[in-house]
Structure 1
Amino acid sequence: MRKPMCEGPRRVPWWEHGVIYQIYPRSFQDSDADGVGDLAGIESRLDYLAELGIDAIWLSPIYPSPMADFGYDIADYCEIDPMFGDLAGFDRLLAAVHGRGLRLLLDFVPNHSSDQHPWFVESRSSRENVKRDWYIWRDPAPDEGPPNNWISDFGGSSWQWDESTGQYYLHAFLKSQPDLNWRKPEVREAMMAVLRFWFDRGVDGFRIDVLWHIIKAEGLPDNPINAYWTPDRTQRDRLIQLYSTDQPEAHAISAEFRALADSYGDRLLIGEICLPNDRLARWYGTPDRLQVHLPFNFQLIENAWDAASLRRTIVAYEESVPWFGWPNWVIGSHDAPRIAARVGEAQARIAAMLLLTLRGTPTLYQGDEIGIGEVQIAPDRMRDPQHLRQPGLGIGRDRSRTPIPWDESANAGFSTVDPWLPLNQDWQSRNVAAQDRSSNSLLCLYRSLLTLRRSHDALAIGDFTLVDAADEVLAYQRRHTDECLMIALNLGDKTRPLTLPTDTCVAEVLCSTLAERPMDDTLAPNEGVVLRLREKR
């Protein structure tokens, strides 16, 4: 359903025409020689980000944490882990970000805390403690086993036995990440206070971790068995998460988050929600009860990399977005394999053009702009609990969390000591400084595309229409007022015809993924182009 006609121009919020860049703080820049990135390191690299052309920075968690899940197990929601700095350092970073005309988003992790959070320490102390039901505790099943059949996303039961109080507690992830009880009003009030704490400090928004997990079905019934599960899939997939995720009550919580964010003005909420289109779209809310601004769309991470599949995915997603919603696209994250590892060096350039020319807000992941690919990590250097608990499935996330190689100096300019994870093996040639010197590098292509988005409203906020194209070619138009741009992407390794819409011709080649060449009626192998069209006279 498309947006109804209205009188007068609509004010476009910054996040509709903006580009978000995700930083994994442990791996961006180390400033204090401990092999782990930190806030001061991020501050020292802000000019790079400003020159790249992004609009907002999203930081993965920087709160105090035992680091069992590298920051997604939070022990204090309103402090900074000493590994990264302190609140004064955070305030300096925020001021420096704003001073460059950028915005800063934090990760908000409402589904669970660390088992070392004072709330859980109290909750675990006795059944009579006032915070006992801030978490989800249950008696054993009649056979003395777990209360239901739910499986943790990291494998094994979602229930952990607590000997001292004689009950199980629920954890959707590690046993050191107990789930909060969002049916408890005091929990909701405490977590809303966390959001207010950071909004009052000047933060521009949040990416909300596993938002669709936030509340569980009343009564905690068994999840259905997945009849299509095979041993090459995770243990979690043995079940369909019918009762442990995506409950109707969660939407009211999401709407509360949105109302609070909107009360602070031009703030942004992004929801991490891994669901099919029809269920994902519900997280936009309704016109009179809005929810998150951007329910994250991960389909480019998961999609088969061919023109026909991408075309179907784009059409289905566009049709699912409500008229009052705005699309978004992601090709990489700290949880997913690198895009260059998935599609190869040549198609990583096509992926960059696709991400930055589709209708909607793009999110870039650090290092994808220089094409970091598959990183080989020795078994004794692997750190990810998801891999360590379920080895052999190839689901480890360390491969996408390796440090940024800045230059050819020792430790790639990331640190003066050995980094916490190894660098990409080709770091001496694949680094920011080397790509900065090459006009045909992937980094320069990203800069060119980001410059185009800033200078052409058709790319940033224009209408979107798919157009007919040859096999292995994905083509679409972006229009705004009198400007018409066409993007044509050759997903194959053979030359393909370039077909323009009837009665149009190329007025200008604005960008190509390959070196400059005379434009004809073909696309070279692995070539993508952004064209400005005009009517034939």
Structure 2
Amino acid sequence: FRIDVIHCTGKDPSFADDPRCLAGEPLANFNDQPYSHEVLRGIRRVVDSYPGERVLVGEVNIRSTERVLQYYGAGDELHMSFNFAPLDAPWEPVMFRTCIRDVELLLAPAGAWPTWVLSNHDNSRQRSRYHGSLRSARAAAVMLLTLRGTPFIYQGEELGLEDAQIGPEERVDPGNRDGCRAPLPWLAEPPHGWSGEEPWLPFPPDADELAAERQVGAANSTFDLYRRLIAARKASPALTHGSWEELRSHPEVLAYRRRHDADERIVCINFADKPHVCPINGHWQVQIASDGVGEEQPYSGELAAGQALILCPQEA
């Protein structure tokens, strides 16, 4: 069960005007009243009273990992809370390194299970935020699906879509979130699998080239990359349940180890527009590459520009 803006359940008992609202900042950005936790504990008791496995994941739209952690309670509130800090991060290593470290530092000791969100229906698509770079969006997919925690994939990211360009006369949402909500191109030919009248919004750029029809079954398409990443994650205890350990690397490279018992994976992400050396002790081979280059080959110790790799122990 996804609970929308759960942190806004509680209100200031005096209903006083907040200067941040008067300045134009939405209340959802900072509202954090104690009564929200009381309501949430009640919801959790109801959910736990039923048999079977049920999960509460909450939207706590506060850009502070420490404050979001409070909504896990003592195991009696949310099972998971969306981690929105990466939504604000440009595609550069310092910001992502900081986000990941914060999550590991705060959530792991509390036994709280992390989540990872790079896009959703309220924010620009990751490719649009990364200056339109499909290469960066593909590398981000490798990161999203290999971090410790539960990844959430917004529809259309598996096609490598950008935000649609929305003119003033086409705008539907007063919050100006139409770009990421454009209809998905299912078929290559217009109207891309939609019938009847014109869709409520224009299609994203390159809708014919990025249509699902073109990508499903196509080797090394963005859709194919997502499917292979999901399959690799499911097949690896290290990627599903394992620990996370940051590895020393070049400042423009993010490298980390995932380990669970005997299973082990290493992930290397080059944020730069030039190759970087990233030596790893031991013998490794490339399981998945964001650009499809070098897979099932021994790891050379170098990352191509903008490339992200999943490495597994080299077979004898």
Shared fold (TM-score, shorter chain, > 0.5): yes
Do 1:258 and 1:292's aligned partners in 2 also have CA atoms closer than 8 Å? yes
Aligned-pair distance for 1:309? 1.8
Q: Indicate which of 9, 17, 36 corresponds to 1:222.
A: 17
1:291 to 57, 65, 77: 77
1:263 aligns with 2:43: no
Name the counterpart of 1:211: 6
2:150 to 350, 361, 364: 361
Quick check: 2:190–2:208 contact (8 Å CA) kept in 1? no
| Aligned-partner Cα distance in 1 for 2:29–2:161 | 34
Q: Which moved more, 1:423-432 or 1:360-369?
A: 423-432
Equivalent residue in structure 1 for 2:99, among 304, 308, 313? 313
Say yes or no: does 1:456 pair with 2:243.
no
Q: Is the 8 A contact 2:91 2:136 kept in 1?
A: no
1:110-164 superposed Cα distances (whole Å, 9 cap, x missing partner): xxxxxxxxxxxxxxxxxxxxxxxxxxxxxxxxxxxxxxxxxxxxxxxxxxxxxxx
Residue 128 of structure 2 corresponds to residue 341 of structure 1? yes
Q: How large is the RMSD of aligned CA atoms in angstroms?
A: 2.1
Aligned partner of residue 429 in structure 1, secondary structure: helix
Larger radius of gyration: 1
Shift of 1:225: 5.2
Tell me whether 1:409 sits opposite 2:189 in the alignment. Answer: yes
Q: Does 1:433 align with 2:213?
A: yes
CA distance in 2, matches of 1:442, 1:309: 24
Q: Post-superposition shift, 1:221?
A: 2.7
In the TM superposition, what whole-angstrom CA distance separates every residue of 1:388-425 from its partner, at most 9, and x where no partner exists?
xxxxxxxx110010111011233101334311111113
Amino acid at match of 1:511: I
Please list the CA deviations of residues 236-272 of structure 1 after superposition, one character each: whole Å capped at 9, or x if unmatched: 26x8976xx2111110111111111122231111111
Match for 1:443 among 204, 210, 223? 223
TM-score, with structure 1 as normaliser = 0.55
CA contact (8 A) 2:163 2:182 kept: no
Whether the aligned pair in 1 keeps the contact of 2:254 and 2:268 (CA below 8 Å) is yes
Identity of aligned residues (%): 34
Give the corresponding residue for 1:327. 114
**Distance in 2 between residues matched to 1:305 and 1:522, nearest whole Å:** 20
Q: 1:350 aligns with which of 136, 139, 161?
A: 139
2:280 alignment partner, one of 494, 500, 506: 500
The letter for the 1-side match of 2:287 is L
Whole-Å separation in 2 of the counterparts to 1:235 and 1:423: 31
Q: Deviations over 1:82-108 (max 9, x none)?
A: xxxxxxxxxxxxxxxxxxxxxxxxxxx
Asked whether the equivalents of residues 404 and 414 of structure 1 are also in contact (C-alpha less than 8 Å), the reply is no
Give structure 1 regions of 4+ aligned residues with deviation exceeding 6 angstroms: 239-242
Q: 1:468 aligns with which of 216, 236, 248?
A: 248
Map of 1:15 onto structure 2: none
* Alpha-carbon distance in 2 for matches of 1:468, 1:488: 11
Aligned-partner residue type, residue 385 of structure 1: P
Correspondence list, 1:45-444, <5 A: 206-224=1-19, 235-236=24-25, 245-264=31-50, 265-275=52-62, 276-287=64-75, 290-321=76-107, 322-343=109-130, 344-386=133-175, 396-444=176-224
| Number of residue-to-residue matches in the alignment | 308
User: How far did 1:325 drift?
Assistant: 1.4
Asked if the contact 2:268–2:309 (Cα under 8 Å) also holds between the matched residues in 1, the reply is: yes
Describe the SS at the equivalent of 1:236. Answer: coil
Task: Report the CA distance between 1:378 and its aligned residue.
Answer: 2.2
Is the Cα contact below 8 Å between 2:125 and 2:157 reproduced in 1? yes
Deviation per CA, 1:307-364: give whole Å up to 9, x if none. 1221111001221215331000011110000111111211000110111000000110
The TM-score normalised by the length of structure 2 is 0.92
Given that residues 453 and 460 in structure 1 are in contact (C-alpha distance below 8 angstroms), is that contact kept between their aligned partners in structure 2? yes
